[in-house]
Copies of this chain bind each other. A is one copy, B any other.
Amino acid sequence: MRLATLRDGTPDGALLVVGSGGDRAAPAAAVATTLQQAMENWAAVEPALRAIAAQVEAGTAPGLFALAEGTPLAAPLTRAWQWLDGSAYLQHGERMQQAFNLPPIETDRPLMYQGLSDRFYGPADDIPFPAEEDGVDFEGELGVIVDAVPMGTSAEEALAHIRLIVQINDWSLRTIAPVEMKTGFGWVQAKPACSMAPFAATPDELGNAWRDGRVHGRMRVELNGERFGDVESGEEMAFGFHELVAHAARTRDLVAGTIIGSGTISSRHYAEMGSTCISERRAIDIVAGREPTPFLRFGDEVAMEARVGGEALFGAIRQKVVKG
C-alpha cells in the first residue's frame, strides 16, 4: 500500500491512498485525516486503509481521482515531531572525510544526528537558500516512518515498528557543514529542511527488495536533466533501518511518526554508479585530478527517483533551487 498527502490549505494536508500505478488516489479521511494521525493509530487504521486501497484498485473508492502532473502533493509527512538521520553508507563517510580533509570517525556505532523536522518540502517545491556561497548540495536518501517505539526496543523488535518507507532529499550546505561538525554539536545551519518524494510505501509493497531492514533498489539522481548517479541502496548499507531505529530508541521513546533516515546512498562502485550528492563527487574529482564539480547555482534542477524492481515506487522529486 502507498500513501500520499494532498495540499488542502491545512498544515498537515489530507491523507490519500494511492493506486498501484501511482496514477490514481482516493481520500483516506473516513479512516484518518492526516498521515500523522494514521501513524498514531497504525495498528487500528491499517486494515481500513488497505480496504480503501482495494477499492482504489477496483475503481470503486469514494472520491477516486487521477493523480496528474499538477496535483498538489505535499511530502507524505509535511512535518514530523522527530527526524533522525543516519549515515549508514560507510563509503559516503570515507569520501566526505577525503573531501573535507577530516580525520576518520572511529566508531562501531551508527552515526546519527537530530534534524530539523518542522517542515518537509513537497516533491515539486522550489527550494529557497540564502546564498550560493554556502555550497548548496543534495543528498539522495531513503527513510522509514515508525509508530511509537518504546525506549530500549531491540533491533529485532524494531522491524515491526517500521510502517512506511519514504524517499528523501537531505539538502545540505557544504561550506558550513565542516565548521559546525568540528564543534561536536552537529549541524544546525548546514542542514535546513529536507524534501520528500510523494509516496510513502508499506514494507510489503517492496516485496523481496525489503530484506534485512534494507531497501534493495537503486537511487537515481539527475542534475539539470543529466544522470548524476544511479546507486544501489541495499548491499552497502552498514546498518539496517531496524538497527538505526534501535540506536535512536536506546535512551528515549520514539514518538509515532518519527522518521529515521539512511544517510546519503553511496557505493564503492562509484565509477559506474555515480553519486547521490555533489560533495562526494567532488572528492572523487579531486582524487582523479579533475576540476571539482561545482555546488548548485540558483536555477539548477534536481530530480531523484528511487527504483525498486525498476519501479519508481516513491514517485519522483523534481525541484529547483532558488534564492530565498
- A9 at the A/B interface (Cβ < 8 Å)? no
Q: Interface size (A, Cβ < 8 Å)?
A: 49
- A152 at the A/B interface (Cβ < 8 Å)? yes
Question: When the two chains form their complex, are residues A109 and B179 in contact, meaning their CB atoms are under 8 A apart?
Answer: yes
A231 to chain B, nearest CB (A): 22
* Chain copies in complex: 2
Question: When the two chains form their complex, are residues A252 and B109 in contact, meaning their CB atoms are under 8 A apart?
Answer: no
From residue 185 to 217 of chain A, which have CB atoms closer than 8 A to chain B?
A: 185-193
Q: Which of B81, B111, B113, B324 contacts A79 (CB 8 A)?
A: B81
Question: When the two chains form their complex, are residues B173 and A251 in contact, meaning their CB atoms are under 8 A apart?
Answer: yes
The docked-state distance in angstroms from the alpha carbon of A106 to that of B179 is 10
Residues from chain B with Cβ under 8 Å of A251 in the complex: 129-130, 134, 173, 176, 189-190, 192
Q: Which of B134, B152, B183 contacts A107 (CB 8 A)?
A: B183
The docked-state distance in angstroms from the alpha carbon of A114 to that of B117 is 10
Q: A249 — nearest CB in chain B belongs to which residue?
A: B189
Interface flags for A95-122 (1: CB within 8 Å of B; 0: not) read: 0000000100111010111111111000
A191 to chain B, nearest CB (A): 8
Question: When the two chains form their complex, are residues B185 and A111 in contact, meaning their CB atoms are under 8 A apart?
Answer: yes
Q: Which of B107, B115, B129, B184 contacts A114 (CB 8 A)?
A: B115
Question: When the two chains form their complex, are residues A192 and B117 in contact, meaning their CB atoms are under 8 A apart?
Answer: no
Q: Which of B109, B116, B128, B250 contacts A130 (CB 8 A)?
A: B250
A71 to chain B, nearest CB (A): 25
Q: Which of B185, B193, B255 contacts A119 (CB 8 A)?
A: B255
